Structure 1
Amino acid sequence: MRSQAVLSIASMAAAAHAASNDTAQTPRAVPSLWDGQCFYPTADGGFQLETYLGRWYQVAGTLAPFTAGCKCIYAQYALNDDGNVQVNNTCEAEGRPVNILGTASPADPTYGLDGAFRVQFPGQPAEECPGPNYIVQDYANDIAIVQSSNFTTLFILSREQHLEESVIQPGGTAGCIVASRLAEASPELSILVIEGGANNYNEPIIVNPALYLQNLAPCSITATFHKANKSEHLAQRELVVPCGGVLGGGSSINFMMYTRAQQDDYDSWKTPGWSADELRPFLRKLETYHGTGAAKDHGFDGPVHISSGSYRSLIAEDDFIEAGKALGYPEINDLQSLDTNNGVSRWLRYVSPEGKRQDTAHTYLHPKLQAGDAYPNLHVVVQAKVLRVLIDGDSKRAVGVEYTPNPAFQALGINLTQAPTHTVRARKLVILSSGACGTPAILERSGVGDPKILQRAGVPVLVDLPGVGHDYQDHHLIIYPYRTNLAPEETIDGILRAGRDAPTVFSGNKLLGWNAMDAAAKLRPTEDEVQALGPEFKESWDRDFRDAPNRPLMLMVLVNCFLGDQASVPVDQYASIGTYTAYPYSRGHMHITGPELKDPLDFDVGYFSDANDIDLKKLMWAYKKQRELMRRTKMYRGELAIAHPRFPEGSKAACTELDGPLELGNVRDVEYSAEDDAAIEAWIRENVGTTWHALGTAKMAPREKMGVVQPNLDVHGVKGLKIADLSIPPENVGANTNNTALMIGEKAADIIMRELGLQGTMSE
């Protein structure tokens, strides 16, 4: 099987050198010469000795005395001072390296071209036809076929030890799922995962849920930080957006909130095969659900455990639920069924009952990587950045990727400007899974994108696809902290204060298996609140929400801690409310400015760039709503003023500090003046940030609608290239996006397996 794969690749590569009248699938014919006794092959006319030197791996060949009983055969070619080439053949026999040295001398002109060599090894018998070895094809310096003059020996050599039939890069949330499912489906597929970050296996700050904020610290090596352009809408700030920078992608560093999209969300994509009803089987397949709710809505034997983890703070959880009811929002038993909305609910998390994070590396990849020789077809390279996809200019087919060591992990003093690049070839497929912040840059460096952007960046245009990097979206987040009367075991403030020492200090403590988020809500405003937000807001509400009761305007979550710098606040126990928009109107972009990794990105988050400031008004409504909810809890002891709007002196909306709760059942809403509203607006512009929910930068839509991929995830205009990550959703989802990423991974695996003639994961 391996030799068939190699020969197939060789034939395809030969086509790139074919005459212009050859078809893309026809290898160049190589005539042989006959002198009356022996045939002499014709060497490669484009052969260059300098590029042929170095190491070549034998991936197929005829038997030779030296290689009998050997494996891992390779040859090292080096130029001697006398113009001859030293040949060092090495292989492994019975666990020991064995090598033999020989010499390759350029043949005399009788034999023609430069790709002909006389090869001599000590003690080897003379051939009946004593002509030289010929390098009859040299395919872009990656594949070579070498044969002897009498045709008794032939070797197929490759610069890469393994010729991958499928390349998945990098090891993001969805990419790990695709790689795992394909490895299960066929041992004939050779799968390579290329991850820009480190291996996350059993990393304490990843597997222990309570330590998740350490992954987002400025010095973190498990996140990749993208600095955006200065924005006039955000008080001239340059927002920084962290994304997954470790195996497992965002699923390894996120907040682990189990939040599903709405039925309307997937239906709004209007894409064949991607409606909510068509996606439900994949949503069930990925999970083992440990919560309440209808059995038809959930899965019970998938890789990802959905549970409460090892701890819940029932006091704070109940408090939040009751406060929501006091505001008119009912408790909903299962707010993740796709068809429930506008209420408060007890939240589960991507955490096992034993208290371990359920990222896709640990749930899909690592079980196979740790299974000995059970999956020899699955390979992972970490700390390696993909530069570009290699696309054949004639056939417009993706034939591999080029990658380089990630500079963030290189030793000090290395010359990073000359870091080595590596090429891996793909016979069947290249799959991008770099996320909404990574995939567009790889596509553009590969020559796929808007011609104007590529030309400015100095990248040759291979495929005109203007939608690449367009329509960047993110949910807009602000977190508001409060003073509470919670006990130390009811928050993770102590764990956060312990910092890097937390795994040791809290070893064995059940709080390590908790993300401090037990309750949340999907909310819509009342009719009076819609009217109060102005005519432009009402117009957008009537158009996009009024007749779509399945769509929330805002999500809110209770977090049992202060999420900022613990050194900036008194030692205490805090609670915070996070508020984030479900369907922002604002759009941004993410593009390259040059052909290399070191070139900065042109990154516009686009926050509040929408007409009539509708997104801003959503967050102004959310500030007032979350504050009223918190004021109706028993734990409430006032606002932590350093993270609330700076209300004018004497304002009725000023922050307070209390010794006890407000009189529940008799709490009056805070009154806000026009000056107070201005203070809220200013605070939001100065402090709104990412929810780490970037999507839409390579959306699934027709090309004429700025689409980048088709419903089968093929990139428009490129063969053998698919995208499987959060860059593909054409519209946003009213939820944290991890669940959508997991679904995309399962759906992508099913699509690919069907196309490869393997059994799909879902029944017809």
Structure 2
Amino acid sequence: MSAKIEDVANQFFDFVILGGGTAGLTLAARLSEDPARTVLVLEGGAAHIDVPDISRPASYGSHFANTNYSYEYKVSKQEFAGGRELVWQRGKGLGGSSGINFLCWLKPSREDIDAFGALGNPGWSWENYQRRMQNIEGFSAPSEDAKQNVNLKFDTIGKDGPLKLQFPNKIDEAEQHIQQASLILFTTGGIRWMLTYEHRLSSTTASTLRHTQSMSGDPQGFFFAPVSHDQKSQRSYSTTAFYVPNKDRENLSVLVNASVRKVHTATSPESNLIATGVEFEYEGNVYDVNARKEVIISSGALGSPHILELSGIGSKDVLEKAGVPMKLDLPGVGENVQEHIMVGLSWELKDDVQFDTLDILRDPETYAKHLELHKTVEGVFTTGVTSFGFVTLDQLTSRSLEIYKSMEDIVAKLDPKTTPPGLLEQYKLLLERYKPGSTNPGLEFISFPGLMSFPNPPEAGKRYITLLVAVNHPWSRGTIHATSNDPSKLPEIDPHYFEQGVDLTLLLELAKRAREVANTSPMKEMIVNELNPGPKVQTDEELSGWIKETFGTVWHTSSSCSMLPKDKGGVVDHTLKVHGTINLRVVDLSVVPLHVGTHTQSTVYGIADQAADIILGRC
């Protein structure tokens, strides 16, 4: 690595970045472009560079519960989900969660990004976001054969950036059948299709279709999306894109296995806090490092609020209970937490279906065979989760007006005396997303090539297909707070799942619609029977009960350090500077004020890129 403890302890750096994950390494690369600026990154995990378990795609979930590669955060018992106790995993090591994610590359809607600005943050807009993506994306167009299946307009995705993106070498015909079934089912609801399947459909049906473009701010429809693979089918993530190419810069230092304990601060004559340095632990000893210009927290939506509170910045009540002396009363820290929720439905495939799902890797001999195949860029480890559908409430269900009115009731019943600051403004924007006629989709279908559902286990030798359904514009709000002044004790996480019952209603309608897709040709000809939830689960009450027992997170937690005005519950301003401080910023997904309606990898990179220009005075 570029730094040893003697290079860091008690030394001075212009910028000290807390976290070497998706945002942290992106930001470090940008800030260190000028050799006159010194940059230090402190990362709590190991380097994991060129480790096959990380670099090999399609190893989904294999890093979870492995303490070398992930942190395990236990979630509080969920009052509105039958007392469920979930676990949230986050990447541990350089690259952070970009090193253990499912590699999906999707972009939010234009409205989702413009909402940042609408909530009081000038300079945050879809146009700026798209410019950021040109700095990040290094897309390689698919082969001519693949273009027949993936007919997106490639002029709206960047080609020269360091993060390598591509479509998998092979998109199975079975995946195409699943999308075709979705198309046929949803076309009558006015869904716009993103692929050229006209040759498979009647001319009447085909004439109703309009092509759209998932990379230009309009993700509505069904489509195949790129993945963060390079051309050798290795994971492309913040380590390979932003650290490795720049690791020999003399002004860039990265210290791994260095766990941040707190930020040191002083008080300015104007009574604002000044970040002066950082206390961290390395190999059992505690050290300090000094910051000449800024300290930047990039520890994710779970880690960043925790570091702020350990540093004495947060709600007075929370800090008192945790035994942390208060430096700055900032009640928004750890509040407004938002998370995408999903549940999986799975079907057994017929024996004659030609589809190598990930289930075949349960056999040790087959697993070993595909490890070898991956060396020649073949086999199931080169595949990706690429098949997606995004629909509006109108398109999802005939109950849309009834459900929308229940959302209006939520807003109408808000008590001004007890409602968290800024929540009303967020809810008004949510109503816009769900209102009749909206074209902003936040309800998602994901085709997963294998079993990813509960509670019924797989049968040896069988293959499965899973439709994951997700609510990406949730109404419930959670919290993440320190409970102790001991930095090794993880924060208490309470997402308040289903506190707003409409989130459960949306997930129920999605699950019912997924069953309809499975019962539509040509998907229905591929399957034997439903494994999960199974034929015994039929009524809305039974299906809702199954959802509460088996739903999970999408690992897209946001908003715990929301970019909002202070009087609206904000933690950082539009420059990502912590309210009440002179030189302390937060740069990661925690600053998103209202959650975006899609997978978040691209948004984190975009936030980091814009943060660099803000810090350097370029915007």
TM-score range, shorter chain: 0.7 to 0.9
Q: Distance in 2 between matches of 1:159 and 1:570?
A: 54
The change in CA–CA distance for 1:617 and 1:720 in structure 2 (over 3 A counts) is: same
Which of 158, 164, 167 is 1:305 aligned to?
164
Deviation at 1:176, TM superposition (A): 0.7
Listed as ranges, the matches of 1:105-254 within 5 Å are 160=10, 162-184=11-33, 186-216=34-64, 218-254=65-101
Which of 709, 712, 732 is 2:575 aligned to?
712
Q: Distance in 1 between matches of 2:398 and 2:557?
A: 32
Match of 1:459 in 2: 324
**What is the identity, as a one-letter code, of the residue corresponding to 1:398?**
A
Are 2:17 and 2:40, in contact at CA under 8 Å, matched by a contact in 1?
yes
Alignment RMSD: 2.6
Listed as ranges, the matches of 1:194-593 within 5 Å are 194-216=42-64, 218-269=65-116, 270=118, 271-291=121-141, 293-294=152-153, 296-309=155-168, 311-327=169-185, 328=187, 329-333=191-195, 335-369=213-247, 373=248, 375-394=249-268, 396-405=273-282, 419-485=284-350, 490-495=356-361, 497-498=363-364, 504=371, 506-508=373-375, 510-511=378-379, 513-524=381-392, 525-526=394-395, 528-531=398-401, 533=403, 535-536=405-406, 544-546=433-435, 549-563=438-452, 568-593=458-483
Match of 2:424 in 1: none
Match of 1:60 in 2: none
Deviation per residue, 1:620-652 (Å, 9 max, x gap): 0000111111222345314443x316736xxxx
Deviation at 1:318, TM superposition (A): 1.5
Deviation per residue, 1:564-606 (Å, 9 max, x gap): 6997432222111111112000110000011112334221011
Q: Distance in 2 between matches of 1:159 and 1:298?
A: 42
Q: Distance in 1 between matches of 2:316 and 2:409?
A: 37
Q: Distance in 2 between matches of 1:564 and 1:544?
A: 28
Are 1:696 and 1:730, in contact at CA under 8 Å, matched by a contact in 2?
yes
Deviation at 1:337, TM superposition (A): 2.6
The change in CA–CA distance for 1:689 and 1:751 in structure 2 (over 3 A counts) is: same
Q: Which structure has the higher relative contact order (CA within 8 Å, separation 6+)?
A: 2
Deviation per residue, 1:420-459 (Å, 9 max, x gap): 1111111111111000010000000000000111011111
More strand by share: 1
Are 1:205 and 1:212, in contact at CA under 8 Å, matched by a contact in 2?
no
Which 10-residue stretch deviates more, 189-198 or 465-474? 189-198
Deviation per residue, 1:719-750 (Å, 9 max, x gap): 21111100000001011011110101111111
Which of 492, 497, 514 is 1:602 aligned to?
492
Are 2:561 and 2:572, in contact at CA under 8 Å, matched by a contact in 1?
yes
Which 10-residue stretch deviates more, 433-442 or 163-172? 163-172
Deviation at 1:497, TM superposition (A): 4.6
2:398 counterpart SS class: helix
Deviation at 1:346, TM superposition (A): 1.6
Are 2:433 and 2:441, in contact at CA under 8 Å, matched by a contact in 1?
no
Instruction: Tell me the TM-score normalised to structure 2 length.
Output: 0.84
Q: Distance in 1 between matches of 2:358 and 2:477?
A: 35
The change in CA–CA distance for 1:391 and 1:614 in structure 2 (over 3 A counts) is: same
Which 10-residue stretch deviates more, 270-279 or 739-748? 270-279
More helix by share: 2
Q: Distance in 1 between matches of 2:299 and 2:72?
A: 14
**What is the identity, as a one-letter code, of the residue corresponding to 1:519?**
S
Deviation per residue, 1:238-281 (Å, 9 max, x gap): 11111121211111111111111000001112220101122210
Q: Distance in 2 between matches of 1:451 and 1:538?
A: 33
Deviation at 1:699, TM superposition (A): 0.6
Say if 2:609 is the partner of 1:746: yes
Say if 2:544 is the partner of 1:696: no
**What is the identity, as a one-letter code, of the residue corresponding to 2:452?**
L
Deviation per residue, 1:508-567 (Å, 9 max, x gap): 251354344231100123462314658525867965422663321311111111136997
**What is the identity, as a one-letter code, of the residue corresponding to 1:437?**
L
Deviation at 1:341, TM superposition (A): 4.0
**What is the identity, as a one-letter code, of the residue corresponding to 1:331?**
W
1:237 counterpart SS class: coil
Q: Distance in 2 between matches of 1:435 and 1:739?
A: 14
The change in CA–CA distance for 1:493 and 1:452 in structure 2 (over 3 A counts) is: same
Report the number of matched residues.
553
Deviation at 1:200, TM superposition (A): 2.2
Are 2:109 and 2:597, in contact at CA under 8 Å, matched by a contact in 1?
yes
Deviation at 1:492, TM superposition (A): 2.1
Match of 2:425 in 1: none
Are 1:237 and 1:686, in contact at CA under 8 Å, matched by a contact in 2?
yes
Q: Distance in 1 between matches of 2:613 and 2:360?
A: 44
Deviation per residue, 1:446-483 (Å, 9 max, x gap): 00000111011111111111000001111001111111
1:339 counterpart SS class: coil
Q: Distance in 1 between matches of 2:567 and 2:302?
A: 22
Listed as ranges, the matches of 1:46-57 within 5 Å are none
Q: Distance in 1 between matches of 2:58 and 2:23?
A: 23
Instruction: Tell me the TM-score normalised to structure 1 length.
Output: 0.68
Q: Distance in 1 between matches of 2:578 and 2:437?
A: 32
**What is the identity, as a one-letter code, of the residue corresponding to 1:282?**
R
The change in CA–CA distance for 1:266 and 1:535 in structure 2 (over 3 A counts) is: closer
The structure with more radius of gyration: 1
Match of 1:90 in 2: none
Deviation per residue, 1:131-173 (Å, 9 max, x gap): xxxxxxxxxxxxxxxxxxxxxxxxxxx963x421111111011
**What is the identity, as a one-letter code, of the residue corresponding to 2:450?**
C
Deviation per residue, 1:227-246 (Å, 9 max, x gap): 11111212111111111212
The change in CA–CA distance for 1:531 and 1:272 in structure 2 (over 3 A counts) is: closer
Match of 1:686 in 2: 549
Q: Distance in 1 between matches of 2:258 and 2:570?
A: 29
**What is the identity, as a one-letter code, of the residue corresponding to 1:557?**
I
Identity of aligned residues (%): 27
